[in-house]
A and B are shown apart, each in its own frame.
Chain A
C-alpha cells in the first residue's frame, strides 16, 4: 500500500515549484512519482558569534532517457556577531557601524565583534541534464541569489564524455558569475581611517569622506576538468583540476585593521583593502569504496592561489550500515591553510601601510577540524530521514614577528567553535 501523505506533499510542492517558476506543470502533476524531493534544515551556530538557519528544498524531475531537471531553493537567515579584524585592548573600544549611524563597542580584553550582522539570503538554482548521444552528456545551470547587500547571478555548462564501457568519464565545466555588493553606508575607501563619532560637529561629512561608491561588482570565471574512473565493482575514483579567476571588488567592506602604538593600544582603525583580482586553483581527489556493506568516502584537496594562500583539506566519511535500513556515518575533516601575503594581525605606529591589507582571520594561518556523526534511516517508498551533528573548530597561528606592549596579554587569535546540526528528509 502506498503512503498517501508524501504524495500529497509531493503534489503541493510540485505545484508550488511550478508556480514560483511561472511554468505550466500540469502534465507533471498528473504523473505521480516523476518528481522526487530532497530537503534539509541546517542549523549552524558559533559560540558568541554567527548563527544561521538554512532550509533547503530540491526537486528533481526525471524525464527519462537520462534527461532531468533539478530546481533548488535555499533560504538562509543569519544573525549574530562577526570579528571586525581589530585587536583587543585593555580599554573598551568604540567602532562606527557600517551605516555610519551609531557605534558598537568591545569591552576591555574582548575580541571586537561587529554585532550589526543580520541578513536573509534567498537562492534559487536550476540545472538541466541531457545526453547528446550514447557517450556525450551535457548539463546547464543557472543560479541566482539575493541578500540585503549582495546579489549574485551565474550560469554554468558541463560536458562529459564516457569511454571504455562507461568506466572512464572525462568532464569539463565552465561557470560565469556576476556579483554585486552594495553595503549599508556605501563602500568604505580602502585603507582610509575609520571616523568615529565623538560628538564632533562635522562627523557626518568626515564619515562621508571615508566612503566611495554605493555598490561594486565582482566577476568570476570558473573552469573544472575532471576524470572519473571505475576501479572495480566496488570502487570509484575521481580526480579534478579547477581554476577560478575572480576580479572586481574582493574586499570585505566591514573589516578593519588596527594601527597600534608602541604600547599595543589602538591609535586608529583602517578599512581593509584586498587586491582586485584573484586566481585560485585546486586539485581534488576522491575515492569511494564499498566493503561488505559499509562505504568509505575519502577525499583530498590541494588548493593554491596568487594571494599566497595554499591549503590542504582531507575529508573522511565511513558509512557503517547497522542493518539494511539504518546507518551511522562518522565524519572527520581536517583543513590547513597558510596566510595571504597581505594578511596582518595589526600594524604598529610609523609602519608604512602597503597597498593591500587585511586582518580578516579567515585569510590568516589557520587549521580547522570538523568532527561529526550522521544517523540515517531508510523509510518506505524510497524515503529517507537523516540527522547529522558536527563540531567545527578553527584555530589561527601568530605570524607577527613583534607583538608590542599590552597585546602580549591579549588573545589575538581566539578559536572559533561552531555546532552544525542538519535534519534531512528525502521523499
Chain B
C-alpha cells in the first residue's frame, strides 16, 4: 500500500496543489500548440504500441481505455 500511497501523492496531490501558480497566458501558447507537443502527438503509433503491448503483456490502459478488441493470442 505504501507504494500506491506514494504514487497517489506524487501524481495527483502535488500537481493539484501547485495549479494556482502554474499555467500560461493565451498568447504564450506558441510552443504548447505545436502538434509535436501534444500529449499524444502521434495517435497512430500510440494505437499500434497499445495493440502490441496489450497482446504481449498482462497490463493495458493508462493513457487511454484499457479495452483491447482483439483475440491477441
Contacts and interface: CB of A to CB of B under 8 A. Distances in A.
A313 B65 contact: no
Contact of A165 (B4, B23, B32, B47): B23
Interface string B31-72: 110001101011111011001110011111111111111110
Interface of B: 3-4, 7-8, 10-12, 15-16, 19, 22-26, 28-32, 36-37, 39, 41-45, 47-48, 51-53, 56-71, 73
A121 B70 CA distance: 8
Given A147-B71, A149-B71, A39 B32 contact: no
Given A232-B24, A252-B73, A362-B57, A222 B16 contact: no
Interface residues of A, number: 91
A280 to B, nearest CB: 6
Contacts of A177: 67, 69
Given A40-B44, A121-B70, A239-B11, A282 B61 contact: yes
Interface string A234-263: 101111111010000000101000000000
Nearest to B61: A242
20 contacts: A38-B43, A40-B44, A54-B48, A121-B70, A154-B67, A164-B23, A165-B25, A168-B23, A175-B65, A181-B71, A230-B23, A230-B24, A233-B29, A238-B63, A280-B59, A283-B8, A283-B11, A286-B63, A297-B41, A303-B61
A145 B24 contact: no
A77 interface: no
A44 B43 CA distance: 18
A254 B71 CA distance: 11
A376 B65 CA distance: 28
Contacts of A173: 65
B11 to A, nearest CB: 5
A89 interface: no
Contacts of B47: 56, 72, 74
A231 B56 CA distance: 35
Contacts of B11: 239, 283, 285
Of all A-B residue pairs in the complex, the 10 with the closest CB atoms, nearest first, are A167-B23, A150-B71, A152-B69, A284-B62, A244-B66, A301-B62, A303-B59, A222-B65, A175-B65, A311-B59
B32 A236 contact: yes
A44 B52 contact: yes
A425 to B, nearest CB: 10
If over half of A's interface residues share one DSSP class (helix, strand or loop), that class is named, otherwise mixed; here it is strand
A233 B28 contact: yes
Given A228-B39, A230-B23, A179 B69 contact: yes
B57 A311 contact: yes
A285 B45 CA distance: 19
A385 interface: no
Contacts of A254: 73
Contacts of A220: 66-67
Nearest to A315: B49
Interface in A192-249: 220, 222, 224, 227-234, 236-242, 244
A282 B39 contact: no
A222 B61 contact: yes
Nearest to B8: A283
B69 A284 contact: no
Given A229-B15, A368-B56, 4 more contacts: A224-B64, A240-B62, A282-B59, A286-B63
